[in-house]
Structure 1
């Protein structure tokens, strides 16, 4: 749909509404201009700077231009309306196509290995010694770090940071010393 809009094949409804509003505004401006011209002509006749005949001729000329522009605007609006109708039909066809594709993908998705509940991997076996069983289901990489602190010693600042979401730095023999026992 976006590609069709970019290609100009489809005119979104809001664009049509904006264009219609712009046309109405232009009609209102033209009407105001003609009214202003009529007042000027009336004043000129009253002041004697022009004759009634000249004022009538100028008024008729302005009115003809005004009416011609109004006809153009109506034609433009009609063309926009036709474009909108055509665009709405195309949008409906595109929407139907998308729905059909979604329905096909939905029916194919049931046999897909990603959607089959029987293909989900299950973790077999218990938790390693010193770790709670809930550690098996913890999300990887970050917020749940289980520190294996010895029971006879208070937690250090470093291990407290581990327990409260600090950077995960497991205590291993490579990190200095044997891993503490619980």
Structure 2
């Protein structure tokens, strides 16, 4: 949770480290309770995983992944103030990771190396789930059995590809958090 402009990392080598968070409208970091649940789900595969934190915001999801043994995380954040704060937090924690200051959907369309885990938590008002999911699927970003975490308003239709199979889902107030597993043997529609 945000307390005095800070959130904490809840597990792994950086446990209890604090992230400085700018006070910006619409910023809603993933809560401690939700992050704990999601990383319990990911625990068997996060060690050594290559990750992508789209719409990174505070970077809490990606930093939590690094803290728990992910080999790499690339953070995407278009807001310059948030990207700068994220870079400062990574430097203070002495963590190496790439922070890309660009629009996530546009950046994804350029293609890239497949990752094992994606965290996708866009600003709710911007309705970017379907475009980001299609770009991930169609531009070589996902390993054959990748895991994709999606955070969205409860009841929202996020339009995920047919190759993404629901693995687990939970709710926290008006937020739905879902973990999908990519199953490449499902034909694309």
TM-score where L is the length of structure 2: 0.18
More helix by share: 1
Structure index of larger Rg: 1
TM-score where L is the length of structure 1: 0.18
